[in-house]
Every structure is written in C-alpha cells, then in structure tokens.
Amino acid sequence: MEISELFFLLLKVSATIATFFSLLELGLQLEIKETLVGLRDLRFLILTLLWAFVLGPALAYILTLVLPLTAPYANGLMVMSMVPGAAYLAMLVERAGGDVRYSASFLLLTSFGIVLFVPLFLPYLVTGVSVTSWDIAKPMLILVMAPLLIGIMTRKSSLDFATRWRPFVKKLASIGLLGALLMTIACYGKGIIISVGSFALGSLILFYILLTVATWLSASGMKPEHKSVLSLGVLSRNSGPAVAIAISIPDLDGQAFVMIGLGILVQVALSFPLASKLGKKTK
C-alpha cells in the first residue's frame, strides 16, 4: 500500500470515528421527543431547507461563474455546498450556548435532505456525476442515524450509564476530529499549497462567510440559541457525504478532492471560533 493510500484510509477511519462518536454523544444527551422539537418550529424548518439545499448551492454556483475557478475547483465547491451540517454540530452548538435539541433536529433534517436532494440536483451542477440516493443514504444511515438512535435508546434504558460514559465518548469524538484534520492535511497538503494563488481558498472563505451572515440575518427575530444552531449548521459541512459523493464521480480531477479537503479545513477554522464568539455573547 502506498503512503498516499494509507493516509486516505486513515482519513476515512478518523472521519468515521469523529462522526460516529459525535452523534453518539449527542444521542446520550437527548430524549426521543427532544430530537424532533426543532422540526415543529416551522420557521426554523423552512430556513434550514432553504439555506441548506437551495440558496446555499445557488450562492456557490454564482461564485463559480463570477470567480475564475478552474472546473475541478468549481466542482469541489459545488459538492461542498450541498452537504451542510457537520456531525460535530452539537459540539459547536454547546460551545455557542445554543439549543442542543435543535442541533439534533438540524442534523436529522439535513441528513434526509442530502439523501433526497443531492442525487436530484448535483448532476446538473457537476459533470460526470453517477451518484444514487443509496450511495448517499448508506453513510448517512450508518454514521448519522445509527449512533444518534443508539445514544437516545441507551439514555432511555439507563440515564446513569449514559451520563457516566458521555465524557469519554466526547473525548473519542474530539480525537477522531483531530485525526481527520491531520490526515486531511497529509492527503491534500501538497495540493493545497499548490492551490495558493488560485481562487480556491478565497472562494471557500467567501462562500462560508456570505452564507453564514445571510443565514443569521434571515433568522432575525428568532431566539439567539436557535439562530446559532441555524448559522453554525449551514457553516459547518458534513465531510462523510462530501467524500462519498466525490468518490462516486468517475475520473474526478484530483484538484476537486483538494478543494473538498481544503473546504473541510476552512469550515473547521471558521466554525469553532464563531461558536466560541457566540458563546461569549450568550454568557
């Protein structure tokens, strides 16, 4: 096995660990009815779907037309635009002093949204896409739905057990996230350095900032703890489906993978400071 293949394997393993244990830790905090509370908030529901799967991808598409991006970088940006909601969203929301129940609702809603909308619209935005709903559904069911439900059911059967083990599960999620970031750099670091001077990095930063600010403004009047969930949700990106989509595209240029790796790093670099800032404001 080549070094690059080993790094990519470790990236998938660490991303899986981060995703699984982040959602398990979230489930250990919640009752079943609490995961659905955000879905009963009509404005939150509509804004989530609108920014996640309509206005967000539309903004990315406009940027690919306005900025002189090469086709592979543009394809990578489009893929990243359609996978909102990082698995560690609850970690961000907790840091921001937001409503953790709404973060569970956001993840459930966007997980189903990714499965439904990506196979329908991505072929029109990225050439050569052969992704099916099941290709996207498999990682979402295994990495999102399963750990969340396991955590919820564990809490229901034994609150004491869930409370005692939650800090350990949270540490595993943090270790997985750190490993995923390091492996992303190992896999795509050279390509990221080469991309300096292109508009790849600038387009990602511009996309994330414009999307987050616009989402925050559109949620004017909502409770701050709900606005923070919405804004952090659309800012953060779900790396699992992003990689799954990229792998499913035949002969996808390596620069597109670099763009996705760069997108993962940039959204982490922006989302955690934003969560901390919102947390200080809440306090």
Phi, psi at residue 223, to the nearest 5°?
-65, 140
CATH number at residue 209: 1.20.1530.20
> Domains in the chain: how many in total?
1
The boundaries of the domain holding residue 58 are 3-282
Q: Find, among 38, 156, 40, 51, the residue nearest to 104 by Cα.
A: 38
Q: How confident is the model at residue 53, as a pLDDT?
A: 93
Q: How confident is the model at residue 218, as a pLDDT?
A: 95
Taken as a whole, the chain contains a residue count of 283
Which tokens sit at 7? 């790094």
Q: How confident is the model at residue 135, as a pLDDT?
A: 67
228: CB partners within 8 A, 6+ apart = 93, 96, 97, 98, 275, 278, 282
Number of H helices, E strands in the chain: 13, 0
Residue 200 · residue 262 · CB < 8 Å: yes
pTM for this predicted structure: 0.83
Q: Vertex 224, ends 36 and 54: CA angle to 5°? A: 65
Interatomic CA distance for residues 30 and 125, integer angstroms? 37
pLDDT, tens digit only, all 283 positions of the chain:
567 778 778 877 887 888 788 878 878 877 778 888 888 999 999 999 999 999 999 999 999 999 988 888 898 999 899 989 887 898 899 999 999 999 989 988 888 888 788 777 877 777 666 666 676 667 667 776 788 789 889 988 888 998 898 899 989 888 888 888 788 788 777 777 777 667 888 899 999 999 999 999 999 999 999 999 999 999 999 877 777 777 766 666 777 888 888 888 899 999 999 999 998 876 6
Interatomic CA distance for residues 169 and 147, integer angstroms? 11
